[in-house]
Structure 1
Amino acid sequence: MGPDTKKRIRDPEARRAAILAAARSVFAERGYVKATIRQIAQRAGVTHGLVVLHFSSKEELFLAAVPGTRDLGESVQGDVEGLAGRVARAYVARMESADSADPFIALVRGAADDQDSAKALLRAMREKSISAYLTVLDGADVPLRVDLLGAHLIGVTFSRYVLADGPIAAMSPDELTDYLTMSLRGILLGCPGRP
């Protein structure tokens, strides 16, 4: 057995969990573009066909493996007034516990290298996010608000977790959560006088 080959796993839930764990590590190490389903299958100790059976595409596997897209529904659910705080807390908690090899951070870092893949993943993440936020928010501009939210969080991710420089990077997690709650409230719930 090679270094990345493990004993085959028979339990379907355990196999799915192994695939997701392997995907997170392979995407983080190699980036979205260079990662292959075969590498992920080998690392998970399953066949290529089994990965494709659980996840029909590399894009779907990436979206399932990245914690922020997976757990979005949980942080969105609840009262509208507390929405910004829940989203800010979930984002900061996830990103503070992530390391620099986190798949989402790797995607933000590598976006300039393969813009087509980055655009496709951003579109897929946007669609998932819009669906989640439509369960709590209403209005014709929800897709625009969700897109602004995504752009804001990508910018924070780049400043704090990729470049790790400047005032945003210097904030404590609690300060970042407070400031994000304030800015996300404006994006998600709107400001007085908004058209």
Structure 2
Amino acid sequence: MTAARLAPALPPFDPEVAERLDSLMQGRPPLRLFSTLARDPRLFKRFFAGGLLDPGHLSLRQREIVIDRTTALCGAEYEWGVHVALFGRRAALSEEQVRATVAGAPDAACWDASERVLLRLCDALHRDCDIDDGLWAELRGFYSEEAVLELLMLAGFYRTVSYLCKGLRLPLEAGMPRFPAA
């Protein structure tokens, strides 16, 4: 793996950044992505202002399926591994489902119908930056208009996160999962 393109900020952090990191990391060292963004307190704050990890119109499981699939499609092993490690069990994702976010077809038997449409959404957005009317109708069969709006924003945000992780060449966090072997 190549070296990171930017060195992370080191403590002491800007007071607002330090407060946010303490809240997020709960005594653990900050993730490399977070400490790299902390180089610029304005960008750090803007990044977290755009985050969608709060309770919204999606369940934790739905959110994590979209994040894992989007980051996998983008090849962002760093962010995929962080989310699998920190949220995979809490989202009740089985090992088979975790693997399927990277290499599985959207119609794999390990997903229910409402989850298959999430995977098809991620695939369509990644491929076309759009969703056709048929997929829209399927989404609306399972999800409210507000939830679909959140899904679009979530996939877009994690595409941006993927750009950051890959463009900065962030080294994988210690102990985090790797993409499954093909």
Which interval holds the TM-score relative to the shorter structure? 0.3 to 0.5
- Structure of higher CA gyration radius: 1
Q: Normalization by structure 1: what TM-score?
A: 0.32
Higher RCO structure (Cα 8 Å, ≥6 apart): 2
Q: Normalization by structure 2: what TM-score?
A: 0.34
**Structure with the bigger percentage of helix:** 1
